[in-house]
Amino acid sequence: MTKVSVIIPVYNTEDYLNECLDSIINQTLDDIEIICINDGSTDNSLSILEEYESKDSRIKLISQENNGLSFSRNVGLDMAEGKYIYFMDSDDVLELEALEKLYATAEKNELDMIIFKLINLNDEDKSLYTTDYYEMDFLKEIVNGNIFSYDDVKARVVDIAVTQQSKFYNRNLISDMEFPNGLIFEDHPFFMESFFRAERVFFYEEHLCKRRIRNQSITTSKNLRFADALPISTMIVDLAKKYNHYDELREVILNKKIKSAFNRFNSVEETYKKEFFERIRNDFPLVKDDVDNSNIDHKNRYVFDTALKSKNYREFELKVNYYLQGYFKEINAYEFIRIDMKNKGSENNSLEIIENSDKYLQFENAPWATDDTGEGFLIESHKGELDLKLKMINDGELSLWFKGADIRDENNNRIEILVDYTSLTINGKNYLSGHNLYGYDKAFPFKKDVKDCEIIDIHIEWMTYDKMNSYVDEIKKSEEQLNENKESQSEKFGLSKKSIKNIIKRN
């Protein structure tokens, strides 16, 4: 049996193909087969492959119509006869002793898979540089030179570099697997499934491959294909369920899915954003129940909720970028309400939230409200509607302040953030209805004498940024305060003052 099968899909890489092939045919491990799949190249790649094939009997050349990277890799995997499999990209360069080192390590330890480091090769200046993603220092700390499997890393599996050029597989592990055809980011599900299957994995701490970074590659062409991140992430969810790991991976997978979706959307060219957003709107509801019942990072939860609520991609883009960059304060609009709470009495007085309708309610102790008269705290929510049930601890006076968030400028001066409270009901009695603008320094107060163990039911509704069409003048007034420096930040996202105003008008 051949020791190693090297599978190399080739598509229009004539400028790099010679260097790639030379790094394979000159490997110190001689017993290899080299399966080259010409995927409908329109440059001189096929001629180069034919020349190498004529000089080296280990090369097996297949030429086909253009079907994509996944299809080509699957063709190569079906043909492979080696005990081990290595997937090579036709613009990368393998260290000459790499396959010999990998083969010897795999044989000695009876491994299913080896994961090793890559080093980046800048195509423009030919410099080499490392990145944390391919260094995987966290993995080194976890496994400490030992053979490991999924059970040793669990949730950190999502942080392992998925790139195929950094993997060396036992063919028995992956022979019945396939890369997803027609999609980019195909490495993700393939690696995840192989890792779920593997019982003996080793982390080889050397840079054995130079991964070329060039502007024309698939993953640097920021077009609509970036939306493939959505079905790819669905495949990861399905694989985690298939191998019974979803319960323990649900939160990290969903966090990564949401974060990746927005980052990819945010990076594509303007031409593709409308369609990308529609795909997000079709994809996110598929995992809504899981998101609602998981402890998702608050930023990702905001992205998720905003995608489902936004009327169009421009609104989605504006709101999330402003939220992530902290720019909501500049236009006097914010998604959160804040409620300060205290049961005032003796030093042992306090209260607790025994029920609430926002799983991601932000809770913070308030040192300024904790003294010899009791312990206080504050909460924040962006849901637009909130139900609370409070339980009093000891007799006292309940004080609630319904307000806006505490947002400050670079000089630590508080900026007035107004929230439109449209409904407030406490123990069945209405206290607010219609439109009521309150902020941090202009809060709506509520006080009531309470008994130990008394229950207080609260229902609140408020208008978030996208609904504040009754207060366009307030927002416009604040917009005028934006200086030229802040305008440049908006333009960084492709959003001018004019576009912000247009979105407000449309809402």
- DSSP assignment string, 81-92: -SSEEEE--TT-
Q: Which residues have CB under 8 Å from 388's CB, separation 6+?
A: 353, 355, 356, 357, 456, 457, 458, 459, 460
Q: Per mean pLDDT, which range of 110-114, 125-129, 378-382, 406-410 is the poorest? A: 406-410
- Distance, C-alpha 111 to centroid of its chain: 31
Tens of pLDDT along 214-247? 875 544 456 889 999 999 999 999 999 999 999 9
pLDDT at 468: 40
pLDDT at 194: 98
Give the mean model confidence (pLDDT) for residues 294-321. 85
Question: Looking at this protein, which amino acid is placed at residue 275?
Answer: E
Q: Select the highest-mean-pLDDT range: 22-36, 260-274, 412-426.
A: 22-36
pLDDT at 362: 84
* 3-class SS of residue 425: strand
Give the mean model confidence (pLDDT) for residues 28-47. 97
Q: State which H helix or E strand residue 363 sits in.
A: strand 362-365
The DSSP annotation for 283-295 comes to: HGGGGHHHHHTS-
- Distance between CA 395 and CA 450 in Å, rounded? 6
Q: Per mean pLDDT, which range of 45-59, 160-174, 345-359 is the poorest? A: 345-359
In contact, 32 and 3? CB cutoff 8 Å: yes
pLDDT at 103: 98
The bridge status of strand 167-170 relative to strand 84-87 is antiparallel
| Burial class for 414, CB neighbours closer than 10 Å (0-12, 13-18, 19+) | middle
Residue with tokens 């260097």: 19
In contact, 437 and 383? CB cutoff 8 Å: no
How many CB atoms within 10 Å of residue 228? 18
Question: Looking at this protein, which amino acid is placed at residue 181?
Answer: N
Give the mean model confidence (pLDDT) for residues 31-53. 97
Nearest in space to 308 (alpha carbons), one of 261, 240, 355, 362: 261
How does residue 471 score in pLDDT terms, banded at 50, 70 and 90? very low
pLDDT at residue 146 above 60? yes
pLDDT at 484: 43
pLDDT at 506: 37
pLDDT at residue 335 above 70? no
pLDDT at 359: 78
Q: Select the highest-mean-pLDDT range: 93-107, 201-215, 254-268.
A: 93-107
- Give the single-character DSSP code of 413: P
How many CB atoms within 10 Å of residue 268? 18
- Distance between CA 424 and CA 459 in Å, rounded? 6
Tens of pLDDT along 49-107? 999 999 999 999 999 999 999 999 999 999 999 999 999 999 999 999 999 999 999 99
Tens of pLDDT along 372-389? 999 999 999 887 899 999
> Dihedral (C-alpha) 297, 163, 202, 237: value to the nearest 10 degrees?
40
pLDDT at 498: 44
Q: State which H helix or E strand residue 152 sits in.
A: helix 150-153
Flag whether the pTM goes above 0.85.
no
Residue with tokens 């939230």: 353
Q: Per mean pLDDT, which range of 122-136, 253-267, 403-417 is the poorest? A: 403-417
* 3-class SS of residue 423: strand
pLDDT at 296: 84
Q: Which residues have CB under 8 Å from 380's CB, separation 6+?
A: 336, 337, 338, 339, 361, 362, 364, 405
pLDDT at 493: 41
C-alpha distance from residue 118 to each of 97, 133, 164 (Å): 14, 9, 10
Tens of pLDDT along 175-197? 999 999 999 999 999 999 999 99
Higher pLDDT, 205 or 411: 205
- Calculate the average pLDDT of the chain: 87
Tens of pLDDT along 394-429? 999 999 999 988 877 667 887 777 788 889 999 999
In contact, 206 and 152? CB cutoff 8 Å: no
pLDDT at residue 329 above 50? no
Total residues found in the chain within this entry? 507
How does residue 467 score in pLDDT terms, banded at 50, 70 and 90? very low
Higher pLDDT, 470 or 420: 420
Nearest in space to 438 (alpha carbons), one of 471, 399, 410, 389: 471
pLDDT at 384: 84
Q: What is the CA radius of gyration of the chain?
A: 29
Tens of pLDDT along 481-503? 444 444 544 444 444 444 434 43
pLDDT at residue 264 above 60? yes
The two three-digit tokens of residue 439, written as one number:
């902020």
- Distance between CA 355 and CA 455 in Å, rounded? 11
In contact, 308 and 483? CB cutoff 8 Å: no
In contact, 368 and 303? CB cutoff 8 Å: no
| Burial class for 451, CB neighbours closer than 10 Å (0-12, 13-18, 19+) | exposed
Question: Looking at this protein, which amino acid is placed at residue 479?
Answer: E
